[in-house]
Amino acid sequence: MTYRQDIFAGRTALVAGATQGIGAAIANQLAAMGARVVALGLGPGDGTLDASVRTRQADVTRQREVDEALADFDRLDILFNCAGIIKRGQEHDPDVFQQVLDVNLTGTMRVCAAARPALKAARGCIVNTASMLTFFGGGLVPGYAASKGGVGQLTKSLAIAYAPDGIRVNAVAPGWIATPLTQALQDDPARAGPILARTPLARWGNPEDVARAAVFLCTPAAGFMTGVVLPVDGGYMVA
C-alpha cells in the first residue's frame, strides 16, 4: 500500500534541484505515485524527467526567485530539497566555501521558509537532502561537509519549529550514488575501489534507490516520523 500508484493522487509536490540525478528520480517517483509535480532547477536538465513533471527555472540562492516560484502554488503537500553543488579541492577557498553553503544549506532554508505557509495549509511534509558527510568529515570538501552537517541540524530544528503547523520535516542521507556529482569518483579506479570495498552491498547506489526511500517519508506509513535523517548508503556508515 505504501507504494501504490495513486497514493499521492490529488497532492502537489515541489522538488527543488530536480533536473538531474537524485532530484529527477524523486520527481519521477512522486509522479508515478499520482502527484502533480513541479521540478525546480537552473536549466533543462539531463532529459530524465518524466513528461508529466512540470519544470520551472529558479535559483535557490536568490530569494526573489524562490518567492516567485512558491507564489504559484495555491496548494503544496510535499516539498523536497535536492539542490546542491560540490567543488572538490576548491572548498578551502572561503569564497567557494560560502558559495557551497549558500546553495546547499541556506538555499534549503530559503525554500523551506517560503513553502511553509502553503505546507501549513495542507499539513504537508518536507524532505531535505543530507549526506554521509552529515556524519563524517571530508578533507577535500569542507564546504560540502559543513553544509550537509547543517542540513541535518536544520532538519531537526525545523521538525520542532514546524510541528505545531502539522508539517513533518525529515531528511534522506544518500551514500555513494552514481550521479553527475560523483562521476569523477566513479571514473577513478583509485577512488572507486576503496568506496566499493567499504560498502557492504558492494555497488554504487542509483538515484532510484534514494528516491524510493525518500518518498516513503512522505507516505502515511511515515506519519509519526519527523526530525529523522535516514541513511540510504548500502551499509557504508556501519562498515
CATH code for the domain of 159: 3.40.50.720
Least confident of 103-112, 150-159, 181-190: 181-190
**Percentage of the chain modeled with pLDDT above 90:** 90
pLDDT at 139 over 90: yes
Supply the pLDDT for residue 144. Answer: 98
The model's pTM: 0.95
**Percentage of the chain modeled with pLDDT above 70:** 99
pLDDT digits (tens, 9 = 90+) for 205-235: 999 999 999 999 999 999 999 999 999 999 9
**Residue 81, domain member (yes or no):** yes
The residue among 119 and 182 whose pLDDT is bigger is 119
**Residue 200, domain member (yes or no):** no
pLDDT at 1 over 80: no
Supply the pLDDT for residue 152. Answer: 98
**Residue 6, domain member (yes or no):** no
Residue type, 57: Q
Which phi and psi (to 5°) does residue 149 adopt?
-60, -40
What would the DSSP string read from start to end of the chain?
A: -TT-TTTTTT-EEEEET-SSHHHHHHHHHHHHTT-EEEEEESS--SS-S-TTSEEEE--TT-HHHHHHHHHT-S---EEEE------TTTTTSHHHHHHHHIIIIIHHHHHHHHHHHHHHHHT-EEEEE--GGGTS--TT-HHHHHHHHHHHHHHHHHHHHHGGGT-EEEEEEE-SB-SGGGHHHHT-HHHHHHHHHH-TT-S-B-HHHHHHHHHHTTSGGGTT--S-EEEESTTGGG-
pLDDT digits (tens, 9 = 90+) for 192-210: 999 999 999 999 999 999 9
Confidence of residue 187 (pLDDT cuts 50, 70, 90): very high
**Residue 186, domain member (yes or no):** no
Q: Total domain count for the chain? A: 1
**Residue 190, domain member (yes or no):** no
pLDDT digits (tens, 9 = 90+) for 150-183: 999 999 999 999 999 999 999 999 999 999 888 9
**Residue 142, domain member (yes or no):** yes
Supply the pLDDT for residue 227. Answer: 98
**Residue 225, domain member (yes or no):** yes
pLDDT digits (tens, 9 = 90+) for 83-95: 999 999 999 999 9
Supply the pLDDT for residue 92. Answer: 98
Q: Quick one: average pLDDT of 6-10?
A: 96
**What b/e string do you get for 188-211 counting C-beta neighbours within 10 Å, with b at 16 or more?**
eeeebeebeeebeeeebbebebbb
Q: Give yes or no: 236 in active site.
A: no
pLDDT digits (tens, 9 = 90+) for 29-55: 999 999 999 999 997 767 889 999 999
**Residue 1, domain member (yes or no):** no
Choose, from 3, 144, 162, 236, the residue flagged as catalytic: 144
Q: Quick one: average pLDDT of 58-76?
A: 95
Structural domain containing residue 161: 12-178+206-233
Supply the pLDDT for residue 157. Answer: 99
